[in-house]
Amino acid sequence: MTLFRLESKTHIKSLLIWVIVVVALIFGMMALFPSMRDSMASFDMSAFPKEMLEAFNLSDMAVLGTAEGFFGYYFQYILIASAIFAAMLGTNALAREESDGTIGYLYAQPISRASIVSSKILANVLVYTLYWVITVVASFLICLLFLEEGASASEVFKDFSVLLFAGEVMGLTFLSVGILISSLLASSKSTTSISLALVFLTYILGIVGRLQADYEFLVYFSPVDTALPSNVFNHGIEWKYVITDLIVLAVCFLATYWIYRRKDLKA
């Protein structure tokens, strides 16, 4: 429990910074909605290929004329940032101890390697969950401020509840892959670039899968697609993607335990 508390406290500052910046961005983008409402709803996108519009969630421009639809479009980029945050938490979790030289202190304590991994996983899951819950709750409240007359607040709440679940699964998937990578690293110097590469590579695979029917299977390699707001709001949860993410999550966590128990630690 001591390691769990220390790991949680380590991320308090970065958690606050991420939450403040993300919530400010969400409010700033929604503040543009009233002035863009009419132009978004009437904008003619017929000149663009249908597949490209679907890949970038622009297939129904009329939906962008609503507060929830406009939120669903731009929030996909906030979602990518959230995925990067989760991946960075994971890739730093175990590698940082060796990079900072604190693994020698930990290894001298009466604590097993399995306990170290468990404490790291639980602490980082808690940090990401707090981040995601605060972000979605703030987003819901901000969206309500700009909700058009006649729109159902209860329906918006239902959609955001689904987004809360889907985004949690997405983030924990990136977190689990990041922790697995962290168990293989001896330094945290490259963790930021690895996190960025992981998120953007899988996101691009998802775009290719949506653009080309022959490569639709690539969408399964894109956890971001599990929680794309436009899809979640319009079609609900795609359980085939959620199940795939949960399998990846479980395999990554189990593999991390196996690898870390056998790793030659550089104290």
Alpha helices by DSSP H, the chain: 2-10, 12-31, 33-42, 50-55, 67-93, 95-100, 103-108, 113-145, 153-184, 191-211, 229-235, 239-262
CA distances from 146 to 38, 101, 109, 152, 233 (A): 14, 50, 54, 12, 17
**Residue 158 falls inside a structural domain:** yes
Q: Which of 182, 208, 213, 186 is nearest to 195 (CA)?
A: 182
Q: Count the residues in the chain.
A: 267
Domain enclosing residue 109, as ranges: 2-262
**Residue 126 falls inside a structural domain:** yes
**Residue 94 falls inside a structural domain:** yes
pLDDT tens-place string over residues 102-132? 766 676 677 888 888 999 999 999 999 999 9
Q: Which of 109, 5, 48, 57 is nearest to 224 (CA)?
A: 57
Prediction pTM value:
0.90
Number of domains in the chain: 1
Q: How far is CA 125 from the centre of its chain?
A: 12
pLDDT tens-place string over residues 234-255? 888 989 999 999 999 999 999 9
**Residue 267 falls inside a structural domain:** no
**Residue 132 falls inside a structural domain:** yes
CB 261 within 8 A of CB 101: no
Compute how many other C-beta atoms are within 10 angstroms of the C-beta atom of residue 241. 24
**Residue 102 falls inside a structural domain:** yes
pLDDT tens-place string over residues 34-66? 777 666 555 555 555 566 656 666 655 556 678
pLDDT tens-place string over residues 162-214? 999 999 999 999 999 999 999 888 777 888 899 999 999 999 999 888 888 78
